Amino acid sequence: MRLLILVPIIHTEQDMGSFNEQAKQEYVHKYGLAKWEQHLEVIHGLWTGIRQLTYQLLEALALPYPRIRLYQDGLPECGREEELVKEIAGRGSKNHQLLLDLMQKGAKLMGTESPDLLIRELTLLRAGLSAPPMTEQADAAPVIEESSKLLAERDHYIAQRINDTLCADEIGFLFLGLAHSVEALLHPDIQIKHLL
């Protein structure tokens, strides 16, 4: 049996890299600085809860850490996965700090996403952020359609990566943003549980 634990994530400001400042400015412009700070506080609280629940589950399962595989939204399959996680954890990402803690206990980090698809999405995001605001729904349709298509392609890649690498008698933890949908794409022999 293969077991996959789905861990819903919300990206923190540290996870956003070069987009953090622009996202913050847009949020503050719309809702104000107090709401931004409240938003960050809620996200950090969620990560405290995710961390606690993850360790409670691991304790209940009593599985040796070397039989755990870690899959991460946005982490390319590139040969530099551990370096990337350390870098983002060093910037304060609660998500990546949790990954790093689990890796130090023996869990195996897996490159999870296609580098090409991530680059395409990054290019689309940059173009969208630098473009003037879309005033008409019709103007937004091609961007929304392309974004949805890329998300679906990423989901297929993530699912195939898990299907191919999660072995019998192992548990995978998939840290995945709420917009994704991979469950229906996984092999039927993979039992799925939700952390929350």
Q: What is the 3-state secondary structure (H, E, C) of 51-65?
A: HHHHHHHHHHHCCCH
* pLDDT computed for residue 33 by the predictor: 84
Burial of 192 from C-beta contacts in 10 A (0-12 / 13-18 / 19+)? middle
Mean pLDDT of 130-159: 78
Q: Give the residue carrying structure tokens 């898990």.
A: 162
Which band of pLDDT confidence, cut at 50, 70 and 90, is reported for residue 44?
A: confident
pLDDT, the chain, mean: 89
Residue type, 181: S
Question: pLDDT-based confidence at 16, cuts 50/70/90?
Answer: low
pLDDT in tens, 65-75: 999 999 999 99
What is the rounded average pLDDT of the residues 149-163? 97
In the structure encoding, which two tokens stand for residue 113, read together? 């996403």
Nearest residue to 112 via CA among 56, 170, 158: 158
Residue (of 120, 180, 175) closest to 156 by Cα position: 180
Contact (Cβ atoms closer than 8 angstroms) between residue 73 and residue 177: yes
- Residue 166 half-sphere exposure, CB side, CA atoms within 13 Å? 29
Q: What is the pTM of this model?
A: 0.89
| Mean pLDDT in residue range 11-16 | 69
User: Where residue 122 falls among pLDDT bands split at 50, 70, 90?
Assistant: confident
Helix (H) or strand (E) holding 99: helix 94-104
| Dist CA 109 CA 71 (whole Å) | 7
Give mean pLDDT, residues 110-139. 78
For residue 187, pLDDT beyond 80: yes
What is the band of 51 on the pLDDT scale with cuts at 50, 70, 90? very high
Instruction: Give the Cα separation of 81 and 74 in Å (integer).
Output: 10
- For helices 94-104 and 81-90, the axis angle rounded to 10 degrees is 130
Pick from 32-41, 94-103, 126-135, 186-195: least confident = 126-135
As a whole number of angstroms, the distance between CA 187 and CA 181 comes to 14
Query: Of 11-25, 105-119, 127-141, which has the strongest mean pLDDT?
Result: 105-119
Is pLDDT at 134 greater than 80 in this prediction? no
Are residues 7 and 178 in contact, defined by beta-carbon separation less than 8 angstroms?
A: no
45 pLDDT more than 60: yes
The per-residue pLDDT for 188 is 96
Tokens of 146: 């392309």
For residue 127, what pLDDT is reported?
A: 75
Specify the 3-state DSSP secondary structure of 189. coil
